[in-house]
A and B are shown apart, each in its own frame.
Chain A
Amino acid sequence: MELRIDRGCVERCRTLAAAIADPVEEFIAVHSTVAVERAVLRLVGVDGVTPDEVPLPNAIVDSLSAARLCGGAATAFGKGLAETGLAPQALAEAIAAGGHRLDEFEATPESAARGALRPFVEAALARIAGRREERAAYLARLPQLPPPLLYVIVASGNIYEDRTAAVAAAEAGAQVIAVIRSTGQSLLDFVPYGPTTEGFGGTYATQANFAIMRAALDEVGEKLGRYVMLTNYASGLCMPEIAVMAALERLDMLLNDSMYGILFRDINMQRTFVDQHFSRMLNAYSGIVINTGEDNYLTTADAVDQAPAVLASQFINEEFAHRAGMPDRQIGLGDAYEIDPDRQDGFLYQLAQAQLAREIFPEAPLKYMPPTKHMTGDVFKGHLIDAMFNLTSVMTGQNIHLCGMLTEAIHTPFLGDRALSLENARYIMNTARHFGDEVVLRPGGIVERRAQSVLSDCETLLERVASLGLMKAIESATFADVTRTPEGGRGFEGVFGRAAEYWNPFEEALKPKMASATVPS
C-alpha cells in the first residue's frame, strides 16, 4: 500500500519545522528550570524525602538562592561535596536536616566542585548505560513478537494490584505495559516517593513503583520467552526527573511530548520547552522510545478537522527530538483513531492519516492510540470500532499499538476487558497480517486525496507557526484552539536564565555523545 504524496511538500514541512525549532532552541540553550536541576541531583544520587515528605532534590534546589541556582545546582552541590567529603545522599540529608547550607561553601572554587562531582556523574552515566545494555541483552535473548506491539494500560491506583493486572495482560499477549499516572500528577512540581497504593484514575509514578513493575515484567518475560516492555509518562512539571527515574529503572518507553503539557495541562511553555529538551537528551542516552501525544488534538476537537494539526505536531515533535539527540528509531510519533464512527468513509480517512504518517516518518516507531471519544456504554459496538482500529494499525504498519477497550468510557479496564481487547487485536492482526502489502490504493481516490489535502493543510499551518514563532503561535490558539501565554501557566516561576558560569555536567557529557551518534538502540 502506498500513497503518492507530494515529497516536495514533505521536505518543505521539515524545513519549516526546523525554522520553528531554531528560536526555541536558542531560548532553551540559555535557560534552565528547577526540574532540570532536580534531575541533575537525582542523577548524582540524591533520592528520598524529608520527614515532611519533601523529596530531597526539591529541598536542595529550594534551598538555593536565585543567584546560585542560575549557576546550576551541580556547582553549588559539588562545592558542598568538595568541602564536606560526604557522598551526595549524605550531603543532601545533612542539608535537609539543617546540618549544612550550600551557601556555606560559596568561596570554594568551581574547579573543586566539578572535580568532586565528576565521579558521581561518571557513575550515573555508567549505570544508565548498564541498564541500556541490559535491555539490549534481554531483547536479544527474549525477542518480542513483530509489531504492532500490543500496549495496554493498568491503572488501579495500587502498584501491587497493577502488578497482578500487568502480569495477566502480558500472559494474554500484551507486549508493552503502561502504568497510567494518578490524575493530577502532571501538575505536581515534585515526584512522589516510595511504593504507593492510593491514586486517582491511576498510580503515582515513583521510582519504587517503576522498580516493582520492572521486576514483575522481567519475571513474566522469562516465563513467556519474550521481553515485556514498561512505559510511563514524563509529560508534566517533572519531565526531566521522570526521565532520570525511567533511565535508572530500565523503562523502555516514556510519553514525552514537546507541547502536550502546554496545551492540555496549562503548563508554562518556557518551562515545557526547556524540560522536554533535557528529558529527551536523557531518553536518547537511555535508549528509551518516546511516545508523543498527538492523540490529544483529536479527543478535544473534531478528528477530521484536526488532522493537519496532528501532522504538524508530528513534524515539530520530530524536530525537537532530533535536536535532543534522538535517532528516528526512538521517536514514537502519535496519532489516534478518533473519527466519528457515524461518518461515511471515516475508515478511509483514518487509513489515509495513518499511512501518511508511515510514509513521512518511515523509521519512526509510530504510536497509534485507540478510539475513546466516540466510545459509549455500548460495549458491542465499541468492540467493533476497536476491530477497525486494529485493522488500520496492521495495514499501515504502526509500531506501538495501544489496545482499545470495549469498556472505554465505562470504567478503568477490568482484567477480563484487557484480555478481550488483546484477543481482538491478535485476531485482526493475524488474519490481516499482510493485507496492507496486498492493497494498491486507487490513484486519485478518496484515501490519496485525503492524505494529500492533510499534508498541504499541514504545510499551511506550519508556515503560519513559522512566521509567528512557536510561542506566539500557541498564544494565538493555533493548536487545539487553546491560547497560552509565554509567562502564563503552571511552573513559570521555576524557569530561570543561566548565568555565564552555568554548569550541567550531564548536558555537557551527553552533547558530544549525541554528536558522535553513538546512541545505541
Chain B
Amino acid sequence: MARLVKPYGDTQNDGKVQLSFTLPLEWSEAADEAARQLAGKMGFTDVQVVDGRRIASGFSFFVVYASTAQGIDVENISASSARAHAMTMEEIDAYVTEHVGRKIRVAGACIGTDAHTVGIDAILNMKGYKGDYGLERYHAFETYNLGSQVAVEELVRFAQEKELDALLASQVVTQKGSDVKNFTALGELLEAQGIRDRIVLICGGPRVTNRLASELGYDAGFGRGTLPSEVAAFIAVTLVQRLRLAAR
C-alpha cells in the first residue's frame, strides 16, 4: 500500500522546505524577486524569500522558505546498507577464529593523490573512532595502513604480495570526479590481475554510499559516521561467505 510522505514543517503534509543559494546578481529588490521566481520554477509554492543580501559585488545570498506539493511513496523505497552485521570487537574476533581460523589480512589506503587520511585512520588505527576500536586492535585482523597518496598500481602489487583478503580504498577529495576515477581504476586493475574475486573490496569516504559502491562493482561502501566495527563485521561476514562458497 502506498504511503505518501511530504516534508513536515509544523503540520502534516504542509510540504515546507528551506533553501539557501547564491545568485550571481548585485542585490536589489529585483534580485529578491528573481530568487522568488526561481524557487517557483523549481516547483515550489508559497515561496518566501526571508533573507536576501549582497555578499560580494555581483553576488547575492538568499534564504527561502517554500512548500512542495511533491510527496514520496516510502513503501517503495529501499537503500542498501553494508552496516547490517552488528557485532562487537570480541564477537568478531571469536567469529573469525571459529570460521576462518587465521587472521584476515586487510590493507587500507587513500588512493591516487588524495592526502586526507582521516577516514582510513579512523577505521584502521588502533584508537578507532567514537570509542570504537580500529582494526589494528582486533586479533582477527592483520592490518596494513598504507597511508596517503598510494598509487592504485602500488596497492594492487601490495595486495598480491601480502595475499590480502580485503582492501579498503579511501577518497575524501571528490573534485571533478577524481574519487570515482580512482575507485574505478582500482577495481579494473584488480580484475586485470585476476584477484578481484578473492578480495573483499571496500570503498570509503564522506561522500561514498553503498549504492555508489555497488555501481562501481565494490562489495561495500561506507560513508560518514561509519564505525570500525561495522567495517570489520562486513569484512568478516563477507569473507566467511566466500570461503564457504569456495569450499562447496
| Residues of A participating in the B interface, judged by any CB pair closer than 8 Å | 157, 167-169, 171-172, 182-184, 186-187, 199-201, 264-266, 299-302, 373, 376-377, 409-412, 414-416, 419-420, 481
Contact = CB atoms under 8 A, between A and B. Distances in A.
B175 interface: yes
A183 B115 contact: yes
Contact of A300 (B57, B58, B121): B121
| Residue picked from B22, B118, B148, B175, most chain A C-beta under 10 Å | B175
A481 B224 CA distance: 24
Interface string B100-128: 00000000000011110110010001010
Contacts of A415: 22, 55-56, 59
B224 A184 contact: no
Contacts of A199: 175
Contact of B225 (A172, A187, A376, A412): A376
B241 interface: no
Nearest to A156: B175
Contacts of B121: 300
Contact of A419 (B55, B117, B174, B225): B55
A339 to B, nearest CB: 14
Contacts of B112: 200
Which label, helix, strand, loop or mixed, suits the secondary structure of the A interface? loop
Contact of B173 (A200, A300, A302, A410): A200
B147 interface: yes
Contacts of A184: 113, 115, 149
B20 interface: yes
B118 A373 contact: yes
A414 B114 CA distance: 20
Give the interface size class of chain B: 20 to 34
A411 B174 contact: yes
Interface in B167-183: 173-176, 178
B206 interface: yes
B188 to A, nearest CB: 20
A299 B118 contact: yes
Given A171-B56, A410-B206, A419 B115 contact: no
Given A183-B113, A200-B173, A172 B22 contact: no
Contacts of B224: 376-377, 409
B225 A416 contact: no
Given A168-B59, A172-B55, A373-B118, A414 B22 contact: yes
A169 B22 CA distance: 13
Interface in B36-87: 55-59, 61
A168 B54 CA distance: 11
Contacts of A481: 125
Contacts of A172: 55-56
Interface string B216-238: 00000000110000000000000
A157 B56 contact: no
A157 B127 CA distance: 34
A48 B59 CA distance: 37
Nearest to A422: B55
A369 B229 CA distance: 31
Contact of A168 (B20, B56, B114, B127): B56
A330 to B, nearest CB: 27
Contacts of B225: 376
Nearest to A187: B149
B117 A300 contact: yes
B115 A168 contact: no
B147 A266 contact: yes
Nearest to B58: A168
5 contacts: A168-B59, A182-B113, A376-B225, A410-B206, A415-B59
Contact of A416 (B55, B58, B115, B174): B55
Contacts of A169: 56
Nearest to A266: B147
Interface in B117-165: 117-118, 121, 125, 127, 147-149
B59 A412 contact: no
Nearest to A411: B174
A265 B59 contact: no
Contact of A183 (B21, B58, B147, B173): B173
Contacts of B58: 168
B118 A419 contact: no
A420 B62 CA distance: 11
Nearest to A418: B55
B113 A200 contact: yes
B127 A419 contact: no
Contacts of A187: 149
Contacts of A302: 127
A416 B113 contact: no
B173 A201 contact: yes
A171 B178 contact: no
Contacts of B174: 411
Contacts of A201: 113-114, 173, 175, 178
B180 to A, nearest CB: 13
Contacts of A412: 175
B32 to A, nearest CB: 15
B206 A416 contact: no
A171 B59 CA distance: 10
